[in-house]
């Protein structure tokens, strides 16, 4: 049987969730491909996993650049027979300080949609032949509580801010459902996971935040679902969100 392979986007920060997921999948015997916009940032992280005895490769990927997506797909096609796991983890919050949609800058909105929706969608299409070649591939889209705030209309304990980021994550949840339906007659399962507030930015983390390893476990669970597992589902802390 060929080795299982996993591609993780936005895995270029040692403290980030992407690297924590990559490490967990490597521990579960996947050859992990870590991607980030800056190859100089991601290569040492792949090397760290290799030093720990895992199989890991670093690649440059900018989700707002179609050519970069195609280059990654070409590289994977030349290197591997199949792709078992795609983790769409990368995200941009370019409107961190924007409190109202009425103040939103449209270039900022476009860039949030590029990284969280259009990029992952294009990447999924580009690697689909490899996903289809795997016996039971899994796609996991990393979502956010911000999306659920829009979906439910509830406050959920936090003010609705960063409207571009929130809407991009809401649309990513919709993309999860759309792709799951499109792939319904295949063994590929597509799900989304809201990791919850997670300690990934040491300079601004809250003591209440979950450790990245804990949130990574939730994402890994969705990436290793059994053939009878759900598809088109959003999970938060192990539980399906209705
Ligand atoms: N941390 C939390 O509390 C929390 C809560 C809810 C949801 N989430 C979600 O969990 C995921 C991981 O979050 P995080 O806090 O670990 O990291 P993050 O800093 O929010 O984002 C992950 C990575 O996305 C990458 N990225 C940005 N623009 C990109 C582009 N154009 N192309 C490719 N990659 C790009 C960045 O990598 P480079 O700049 O190195 O390329 C960044 O390291 C994100 O989807 C986030 O929205 C996090």
Q: Is 180 in the pocket of ligand 1 (CB under 6 A)?
A: no
Give yes or no for a contact between 91 and 120, defined as CB atoms under 8 angstroms apart: no
pLDDT at residue 157 tops 60: no
Ligand 1 center from residue 16 Cα (angstroms): 7
Which residue out of 90, 112, 172, 234 has the highest number of ligand 1 atoms within 8 Å of its CB and is therefore the one to mutate?
90
Residues in the chain: 242
Does position 151 have pLDDT exceeding 90, yes or no?
A: no
pLDDT of residue 156: 55
Give the percent of the chain with pLDDT over 70: 95
In this predicted model, what pLDDT tens digit does every residue of 212-233 receive, in sequence order?
Answer: 999 999 999 999 999 999 999 9
Q: Which residues of 81-112 are buried (b: 16+ CB within 10 A; e: fewer)?
A: ebbbbbbbbbbbbbbeebeeeeebeeebbebb
What does the domain layout of the chain look like in residue ranges? 4-241
Kindly report the pTM of this predicted structure. Answer: 0.96
Kindly tell me if the per-residue pLDDT of 8 is higher than 60: yes
Query: Which has the closest alpha carbon to 235: 180, 173, 175, 184?
Result: 173
What integer pLDDT is reported at residue 153 of this predicted model?
65
pLDDT of 99 reads 75
Q: Does the pLDDT of residue 5 top 60, yes or no?
A: yes
How far is residue 157's CA from residue 133's CA, in Å, rounded to a whole number?
43
pLDDT tens figures, 90-122: 998 877 777 788 888 899 999 999 999 999 999
37 lines ligand 1 (CB under 6 A): yes
> What confidence tens digit (pLDDT) does each residue in 10-54 have?
999 999 999 999 999 999 999 999 999 999 999 999 999 999 999
For residue 154, pLDDT beyond 70: no
Q: Which residues contact residue 44 at a Cβ distance below 8 angstroms, ignoring those fewer than 6 apart?
A: none
pLDDT confidence of residue 159: 60
With a 6 A CB cut-off, is 42 part of the ligand 1 pocket?
Answer: no
93 C-alpha to ligand 1 centroid (Å): 8
* Token pair recorded at residue 86: 């795609």
Integer Cα distance of 177 and 189 in angstroms = 10
- Expressed in angstroms and rounded, the spacing between residue 1 Cα and the centre of ligand 1 is 33
Fold of 4-241: Rossmann fold (3.40.50)
């Amino acid at each position: 049987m060929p080795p299982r392979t996993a591609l993780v986007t936005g895995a270029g920060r040692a403290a980030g969730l992407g690297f924590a997921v990559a490490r967990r999948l490597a521990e579960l015997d996947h050859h992990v491909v870590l991607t980030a916009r800056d190859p100089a940032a991601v290569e040492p992280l792949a090397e760290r996993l290799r030093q720990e005895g895992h199989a890991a490769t670093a690649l440059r990927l900018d989700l707002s650049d179609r050519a970069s997506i195609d280059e990654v797909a070409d590289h994977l096609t030349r290197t591997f027979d199949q792709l078992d796991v795609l983790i769409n983890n990368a995200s941009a919050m370019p409107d961190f300080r924007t409190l109202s949609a009425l103040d939103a800058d449209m270039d900022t909105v476009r860039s949030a949609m590029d990284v969280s929706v259009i990029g992952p969608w294009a990447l999924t299409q580009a690697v689909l032949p490899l996903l289809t070649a795997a016996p039971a591939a899994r796609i996991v889209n990393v979502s956010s509580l911000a999306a659920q705030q829009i979906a439910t209309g509830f406050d959920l304990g936090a003010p609705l801010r960063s409207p571009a980021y929130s809407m991009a994550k809401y649309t990513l949840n919709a993309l999860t459902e759309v792709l799951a339906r499109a792939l319904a007659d295949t063994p590929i399962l597509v799900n989304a996971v809201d990791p919850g507030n997670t300690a990934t930015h040491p300079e601004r983390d809250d003591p209440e935040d979950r450790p990245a390893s804990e949130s990574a476990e939730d994402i890994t669970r969705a990436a290793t679902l059994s053939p009878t597992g759900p598809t088109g589902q959003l999970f938060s802390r192990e539980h399906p969100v209705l």
